[in-house]
Chains A and B, each alone.
Chain A
Amino acid sequence: MTTGTFTPAPGAAPLPRQVLAQTAMEAKLMLRNGEQLLLAVVIPLIVLVGAVKGASRLDLQSQHTSVDVLAPGVLALAVMSTAFTSLAIATGFERRYGVLKRLGTAPLSRGALLGGKIGALLCVEVLQFLVIGTAGLMLGWSPSISVVGLLPTVLLGTAAFAGLGMLLAGTLRAEATLAAANLVYLLLMAGGAVVLPAEAYGGLGDVVSWLPSGALGEAMRAACEGSVPGRELAVLAAWALGGGVAAARWFKWE
């Protein structure tokens, strides 16, 4: 049998290799994109430095504005910006440009695609934690982190927001996704008990702590103080489940 350049030799790469390739590609594209980087690192840093410096200049000795409260809040904000806003916008445009359609026959299974996306989110989050954590330490943050509390907080927080982000991206047009993802991000940053603790919202605090933003913020603050936030983790798990099921049900690939 003669073999030419194009003699068929089909086959999909093993699943782990596909997930790894997709993770590397998605993380690279996210970090290369200026707007995404702004959202992922620059805005959280501005919030952190601005709030800490602003509070000390105004001589506000409120317990809500110390770096020990703000730094975990900004970490929670970073998770939210990556897992929700960045993911939703990127996925919305992947749908628009036929990337998901193309990769579907590439052949990348839906499971491998999701695996790659989660991998990329975690890569970006590690980077965010390094940058924001370092900035926090330089501002005098002295955390006593509970790893058992922090890891599930990050993972469940990511899962909860990623499910909602995918739901948004999979049901709206790309431009609408862009607008909605940014709007929701701004609303939750201001009023969702992410950066500031729920108790800072007075009577609304009980309500916002049921939001994924509030649960993530509260969980992050607790984990950075050395405890395992059971109730908040349960709330995040519920959002992750609900968002995941809804996205799986309504996500349109084209």
Chain B
Amino acid sequence: MSPAVEIADLRMTYGGKAAVNGLSLEVASHTITAVLGPNGAGKTTTLETCEGYRRPHEGSVRVLGLDPFADRKALMPRIGVMLQAGGAWSGVRADEMLRHVARLHARPLDTGLLMERLALHECGRTPYRRLSGGQQQRLGLAMALVGRPELVFVDEPTAGLDPQIRRTVWELLEELRGDGVTVVLTTHYLEEAERLADQVHILDKGRLVASGSPLELTRGGTVATIRLVVTQPFPPGAPQALADALGSSTELIVLDPLSLQVSGPADGSTLAVVSRWCEQHGVLPESLTLGQRNLEDVFLELTGRETGGVNG
């Protein structure tokens, strides 16, 4: 099956600064793909280029095999777009707005059903400007879905939602994939990407820094991670002693006074050093987690460290 989105060597430059700097990636059909990155990584610019709002400065973008700018008329009915904010008249009622967008499509979904699925039925008669941020978000998602698109772009779909409604939205996005819709989402919540995405692309400074399934990204190859949580704050000097014992090929990060993380070569020796150190310094472990990094660790390694190094 041909990819739903193909981005090849995309460059977007604003005021001499590259917002997107030679980005290439593909989105497979019928998957949920998450695009992650710190603020200013170029996520929204990339999405808006796929949505036909911006013309690529260099490189090419194909969405469902079409050029979003030149083939706009053919492409727009086939995609659904959820903007990060806004998109409705301030005085329009929520149900009125959704029905209006439905009328612009040939075979829309039942708007009542969609309102109910997104827990919007109770605020249907509320003017848009009086909706809470979370309600506006969900109405934005409803407007993206009502035309029964093949591909939806959702920008921060659960920002500011309470946990219960966030779960509802996740289930909805999974149902979309099950029904054959391709979902591309940007998110700040790594937990969201880890739970939902088949494929994750991590962007930083307009470039792709990692791609893969959450499992592939967190498996982490040859590096093992040990996370230690203790019952009492570490004795003075003890973390330094551990760092010295581990040697330079291993990295030690004190996360807070009660926990630290060790990343080093994936062999048994690191664990042995840590447990010996606990005994020597009278440190009582409360929990010791091995191996599995989560997406957040990967993300921080790929993006946080580098930005930290640039300071000054």
Contacts from A to B (Cβ < 8 Å): 3-14, 17-18, 21-22, 25, 29, 32-33, 93-94, 97-99, 101-109, 254
Across the interface, do A5 and B179 meet the contact criterion of CB distance under 8 Å?
A: yes
Report A-chain residues with C-beta under 8 Å of the C-beta of B145.
Answer: 6
Report B-chain residues with C-beta under 8 Å of the C-beta of A93.
Answer: 89-90
The answer to the question of B66 belonging to the interface, with a C-beta cut-off of 8 Å to chain A, is no
Report B-chain residues with C-beta under 8 Å of the C-beta of A94.
Answer: 89
Across the interface, do A98 and B76 meet the contact criterion of CB distance under 8 Å?
A: no
Report A-chain residues with C-beta under 8 Å of the C-beta of B92.
Answer: 25, 29
Q: Which of B79-87, B243-251, B273-281, B297-305 contacts A (4 or more CB under 8 A)?
A: B79-87
Contact of B104 among A9, A21, A29 (CB under 8 A): A21
Contact of A17 among B77, B88, B103, B180 (CB under 8 A): B103
The distance in angstroms between the C-alpha atoms of A5 and B83, with both chains bound, is 23
Decide: A105 near B81, CB < 8 A? Known: A29-B89, A29-B91, A98-B87: yes
17 A-B pairs besides A5-B109, A102-B87, A106-B143 with CB distance below 8 A are A3-B179, A4-B179, A6-B145, A8-B181, A10-B105, A12-B76, A18-B104, A21-B100, A22-B104, A97-B88, A99-B87, A99-B89, A102-B143, A104-B52, A105-B76, A107-B76, A109-B73
Report B-chain residues with C-beta under 8 Å of the C-beta of A101.
Answer: 53, 83, 86-87
Decide: A12 near B100, CB < 8 A? Known: A6-B175, A6-B176: no
The distance in angstroms between the C-alpha atoms of A29 and B52, with both chains bound, is 28
The answer to the question of B150 belonging to the interface, with a C-beta cut-off of 8 Å to chain A, is yes
Chain A interface helix/strand/loop/mixed: loop
* Cβ-closest chain B residue relative to A7: B179
Report B-chain residues with C-beta under 8 Å of the C-beta of A3.
Answer: 179
Q: What's the nearest-Cβ distance from chain B to residue A231, in Å?
A: 40
Across the interface, do A5 and B51 meet the contact criterion of CB distance under 8 Å?
A: no
Across the interface, do B100 and A107 meet the contact criterion of CB distance under 8 Å?
A: no
The distance in angstroms between the C-alpha atoms of A22 and B92, with both chains bound, is 13
* Cβ-closest chain A residue relative to B53: A101
The answer to the question of B290 belonging to the interface, with a C-beta cut-off of 8 Å to chain A, is no
Report A-chain residues with C-beta under 8 Å of the C-beta of B101.
Answer: 103, 106
Report A-chain residues with C-beta under 8 Å of the C-beta of B178.
Answer: 4
Report B-chain residues with C-beta under 8 Å of the C-beta of A25.
Answer: 92, 96, 100
Which residues of chain B (116-155) have a CB below 8 Å from chain A? Answer: 143, 145, 147-150
Across the interface, do B83 and A98 meet the contact criterion of CB distance under 8 Å?
A: yes
* Cβ-closest chain A residue relative to B101: A106
The distance in angstroms between the C-alpha atoms of A9 and B92, with both chains bound, is 27
The distance in angstroms between the C-alpha atoms of A157 and B204, with both chains bound, is 53
The answer to the question of B57 belonging to the interface, with a C-beta cut-off of 8 Å to chain A, is no
The answer to the question of B210 belonging to the interface, with a C-beta cut-off of 8 Å to chain A, is no
Contact of A9 among B79, B103, B107 (CB under 8 A): B107
The answer to the question of B113 belonging to the interface, with a C-beta cut-off of 8 Å to chain A, is yes
Across the interface, do B83 and A102 meet the contact criterion of CB distance under 8 Å?
A: yes
Report A-chain residues with C-beta under 8 Å of the C-beta of B52.
Answer: 104-105
Which residues of chain B (33-56) have a CB below 8 Å from chain A? Answer: 51-53
Across the interface, do B88 and A99 meet the contact criterion of CB distance under 8 Å?
A: yes
Across the interface, do B179 and A12 meet the contact criterion of CB distance under 8 Å?
A: no
The answer to the question of B78 belonging to the interface, with a C-beta cut-off of 8 Å to chain A, is yes
The distance in angstroms between the C-alpha atoms of A29 and B129, with both chains bound, is 14
* Cβ-closest chain A residue relative to B150: A8
The distance in angstroms between the C-alpha atoms of A1 and B83, with both chains bound, is 32
The answer to the question of B106 belonging to the interface, with a C-beta cut-off of 8 Å to chain A, is yes
Decide: A98 near B148, CB < 8 A? Known: A5-B113, A103-B104, A105-B51: no
Report A-chain residues with C-beta under 8 Å of the C-beta of B107.
Answer: 9-11
Report B-chain residues with C-beta under 8 Å of the C-beta of A106.
Answer: 76, 101, 104-105, 143, 147
The distance in angstroms between the C-alpha atoms of A93 and B181, with both chains bound, is 33
Q: List 20 A-B contacts (CB under 8 A).
A: A4-B175, A4-B179, A5-B113, A5-B175, A5-B179, A8-B148, A8-B150, A8-B179, A8-B180, A10-B105, A10-B106, A12-B77, A13-B103, A13-B106, A25-B100, A93-B89, A98-B85, A101-B83, A102-B81, A107-B76
The distance in angstroms between the C-alpha atoms of A195 and B21, with both chains bound, is 58
Across the interface, do B51 and A6 meet the contact criterion of CB distance under 8 Å?
A: no
Report B-chain residues with C-beta under 8 Å of the C-beta of A102.
Answer: 81, 83, 86-88, 143
* Cβ-closest chain B residue relative to A20: B103
The distance in angstroms between the C-alpha atoms of A97 and B89, with both chains bound, is 7
The distance in angstroms between the C-alpha atoms of A98 and B175, with both chains bound, is 28
Across the interface, do B149 and A10 meet the contact criterion of CB distance under 8 Å?
A: yes
Report A-chain residues with C-beta under 8 Å of the C-beta of B105.
Answer: 10-13, 106-107
* Cβ-closest chain A residue relative to B117: A5
Q: What's the nearest-Cβ distance from chain A to residue B231, in Å?
A: 49
Report B-chain residues with C-beta under 8 Å of the C-beta of A4.
Answer: 175, 178-180
The distance in angstroms between the C-alpha atoms of A18 and B109, with both chains bound, is 17
Across the interface, do B106 and A12 meet the contact criterion of CB distance under 8 Å?
A: yes
Across the interface, do B78 and A10 meet the contact criterion of CB distance under 8 Å?
A: yes
Q: What's the nearest-Cβ distance from chain B to residue A169, in Å?
A: 14
Report A-chain residues with C-beta under 8 Å of the C-beta of B51.
Answer: 105
Report B-chain residues with C-beta under 8 Å of the C-beta of A105.
Answer: 51-52, 76, 79-81
